[in-house]
């Protein structure tokens, strides 16, 4: 059901955030997107974003009408104050605290805070993010409790009634592929496969069944395994 509330989607150019754009377009009358340039190692995601949005528009006249402005924010300060495998050219590995060194401390907290600030100015009262704690790398800022607490903090700090939506929170990656199919059919699934970017290493040399990527980093493994399960569950292998 479409309601009149406006939504701002955190859109990286990857599988999850593209699915969230489609979800928002199915639920809200006005949708804008926001992306963050934080000197990420896989900066290719910033390059693919505009093309993904153009193709999403082309899937439906209704989506084209609803999809509004895209905003890109410079958050290079993240790279200046963090030392992680997503901001430095280092080997991906597990740390002593049990988290992978791809975890960028405070990243999603900062993303949401900046997005809330923009949403306030743009008259949008829903933030949509692709955070998930079903199939994920263990990042604490992707947890449902974190997002719920953040919603409270943002509303207290800005005297708003902002709502934080995380439609993928309890879905595994196979479910995420299926959700995209339910909104945009095989065309959206194929768009996500061929045009979005998830690989932490920025590899786009070979198109696999599940999309471009190195096929070895945690993001690629989650995406590839999810796609294989999606096909095994009876969905068409597009």
Helix (H, G, I), strand (E, B) or coil at 235: coil
Chain-centre distance for alpha carbon 179: 14
pTM to 2 decimal places: 0.88
Cα 88–Cα 89–Cα 92 angle in degrees, nearest 5: 95
| Helix axes of 44-59 and 15-27: crossing angle, nearest 10 degrees | 30
Of 136, 137, 130, 134, nearest in space to 115 by CA: 130
CB 37 within 8 A of CB 47: no
Does domain 3-197 fall under CATH 3.40.50.620? My reply is yes
Q: Where are the domains of the chain?
A: 3-197
Per-block mean pLDDT, blocks of 10 residues, the chain (238 long): 75 96 97 88 82 98 98 79 49 51 68 95 96 77 91 96 96 96 97 94 91 91 95 73
Helix (H) or strand (E) holding 170: none
State residue 145's pLDDT score: 93
Task: Give dist(CA 192, CA 26) in Å, integer.
Answer: 17
DSSP 29-73: EEEEEEEEES--TTTHHHHHHHHHHHHHHHH-HHHHHHEEEEEEE
State residue 77's pLDDT score: 72
Task: Give dist(CA 187, CA 237) in Å, integer.
Answer: 12
């Amino acid at each position: 059901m479409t309601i009149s509330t406006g939504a701002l989607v955190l859109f990286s150019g990857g599988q999850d955030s593209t699915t969230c754009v489609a979800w928002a377009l199915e639920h809200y009358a006005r949708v804008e997107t926001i992306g963050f340039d934080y000197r990420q190692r896989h900066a290719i995601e910033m390059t693919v974003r505009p093309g993904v949005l153009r193709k999403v528009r082309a899937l439906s006249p209704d989506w084209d009408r609803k999809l509004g402005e895209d905003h890109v924010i410079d958050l290079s300060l993240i790279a200046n104050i963090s030392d992680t495998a997503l901001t430095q050219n280092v080997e991906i590995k597990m740390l002593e605290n049990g988290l992978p060194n791809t975890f960028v401390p405070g990243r999603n907290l900062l993303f949401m805070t900046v997005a809330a600030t923009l949403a306030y100015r743009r008259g949008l009262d829903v933030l949509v993010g692709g955070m998930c704690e079903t199939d994920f790398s263990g990042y604490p800022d992707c947890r449902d409790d974190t997002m719920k607490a953040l919603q409270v903090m943002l509303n207290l700090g800005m005297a708003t009634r902002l709502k934080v939506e995380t439609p993928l929170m309890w879905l595994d990656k196979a479910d995420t592929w299926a959700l995209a199919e339910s909104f945009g059919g095989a065309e959206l699934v194929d768009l996500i496969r061929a045009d979005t970017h998830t690989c932490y290493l920025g590899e786009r040399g070979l198109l696999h069944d599940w999309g471009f990527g190195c096929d070895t980093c945690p993001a690629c493994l989650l995406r590839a395994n999810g796609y294989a399960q999606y096909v095994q569950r009876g969905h068409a292998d597009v």
